[in-house]
Amino acid sequence: MRRNARFHLLGLVTGLILLTAACQAGSWKDDALLAGRVTPSATAQAEATSPTQRTAPATATPAPTATATPTPTPWRAARLGTPYPTPQQALTHENAAALRLLARFGDGDARAVVFFPQRGRLAVGTAYGVVWYDAATFQRLAFWPTDAAVERLARTPDERYLAAGVADRVLVWDVDQAELWAAWAMPDPDADKPTATPAATSELAKAELRRDRITALAISPDGRWLAAGAFERLAVWDLATRALHRAEGREVLPPSSVLALRFSADGQYLYSAAGDNINVFRVEPWARLEKPFFAVGIFRKFGREMWNHFKRAQVGEPIILDLALAPSGRYVAAAFPSGVVLVWDLTIPVPQTNGKVFMVRHYLWPYRQRPTGIWFDASDTLHLVVGRHWLQYNVATYPIQDPSSDVTLSFTPLVLEPQPEGEAAWVAVSATGRLALVEPNGIARTSDMAPLSFQVNDVAIHPSQPLAALVGDAAEVVLRDLSTGRVRASVHLADARVPLRAVVLSPQGSWGLAADAEGTIWRFDWEAGTAEAWLTLPRAVTQREAVAMAMHPQGRWVALATAQQVFVWDVDQRTNRMNGHTRGPITDLAFSPEGTYLARTEYGLAIWDVAARRPWFAFSDLTKPGMGLLRTLAWHPHEPEIAVAASDGRWRIWRLPDNPDSSIAPTQAPDATYAPYPPRLIGEPMAGPVLGVAFNPSGDLLAAYGAGVLQMVDPRDGHIISQVEIPEATPTNTADDEVRFGSVRVAFTPDGRALILIAPSGAWWVWGVPETASR
pLDDT tens for 39-49 read 323 333 333 22
Q: Where does the pLDDT of residue 30 fall: very low under 50, low under 70, confident under 90, or very high at 90 and above?
A: very low
Cα distances (Å, whole numbers) of residue 156 to 152, 161, 172, 350: 14, 6, 10, 36
Residue burial 657-687, b: 16+ Cβ < 10 Å; e: rest: eeebeeeebbeeebbeebbebebbbbbbbbe
Instruction: Of 626, 716, 733, give the one whose Cα is nearest residue 680.
Output: 716
Q: Which of 21, 66, 12, 77 has its CA nearest to residue 766?
A: 77
Q: What is the mean pLDDT of residues 634-644?
A: 97
> What are the residues whose beta carbons fall under 8 Å from the beta carbon of 123, sequence distance 6 or more?
113, 114, 116, 130, 131, 132, 133, 153, 155, 162
The span from the CA of 649 to the CA of 652, in Å, is 10
The answer on pLDDT for 296 being more than 60 is no
Query: Which residues lie across from 428 on neighbouring strands?
Result: 416, 436
Smallest CA-to-CA distance from 652 within 629, 674, 673 is with 629
- Report the run of H or E that residue 42 belongs to, with start and end: helix 42-48
Q: How many residues does the chain have?
A: 775
Closest by Cα among 250, 189, 258, 194 to 229: 258
Q: Stretch 680-704: mean pLDDT, rounded?
A: 95
Among 100-109, 178-187, 240-249, where is mean pLDDT lowest? 100-109
Instruction: Provide the CA 555 distance to its chain's centre, in angstroms.
Output: 28
More confident residue, 33 or 179: 179
Domain with CATH 2.130.10.10 in the chain: 147-191+208-254+271-289, 456-774
pLDDT at 624: 56
How much is the pTM?
Answer: 0.85
Please count the other Cβ atoms lying within 10 Å of the Cβ belonging to residue 596. 16
The answer to whether the beta carbons of residues 636 and 715 sit under 8 Å apart is: yes
pLDDT at residue 692, rounded to an integer: 94
User: Residue 376 burial (CB < 10 Å; 0-12/13-18/19+)?
Assistant: buried
Closest CA to 330 of 307, 351, 361, 356: 361
Instruction: Please report the pLDDT score of residue 658 as a whole number.
Output: 81
Q: What are phi and psi of 340, to 5 degrees?
A: -70, 140
Q: How far is CA 632 from CA 489, 522, 600, 652, 741, in A?
A: 27, 23, 8, 11, 11
Across the range 271-283, mean pLDDT stands at: 91
Edge-to-edge strands, sheet with 597-601: 588-591, 597-601, 605-609, 614-620, 675-676
Sheet with 754-758: list strands edge to edge.
100-105, 764-768, 754-758, 745-748
The domain made up of 456-774 is a member of CATH 3.60.130.10: no
> Is the N-terminal amide bond of 585 cis, ω within 30° of 0?
yes
Residue 390's pLDDT band, with cuts at 50, 70 and 90, is: very high
Q: How far is 405 from 705, CA to CA, in rounded Å? A: 50
Flag whether pLDDT at 225 surpasses 90: yes
Distance of CA 455 to the CA centre of its chain: 2
| pLDDT tens digits, 228-253 | 999 999 999 999 999 999 999 999 89
296: DSSP letter = G
How much is the mean pLDDT over the chain?
82
Q: Which residues contact 515 (CB under 8 A, 6 or more apart)?
A: 500, 501, 502, 503, 521, 522, 546, 549, 560
Predicted confidence (pLDDT) at residue 302 exceeds the cutoff of 90: no
- Categorize the per-residue pLDDT at 295 as very low, low, confident or very high, splitting at 50, 70 and 90: low
Looking at the DSSP bridge assignments, the partners of residue 180 are 173
Strand partners for 179: 174
What CATH architecture is 147-191+208-254+271-289? 7 Propeller (2.130)
Question: Which residues have CB under 8 Å from 354's CB, separation 6+?
Answer: 291
Give the span between the Cα atoms of 458 and 450, in whole angstroms. 19
Considering only residues 40 and 501, tell me which one the structure prediction assigns the higher pLDDT: 501
pLDDT of residue 350: 64
Distance CA 670, CA 91 (A): 36
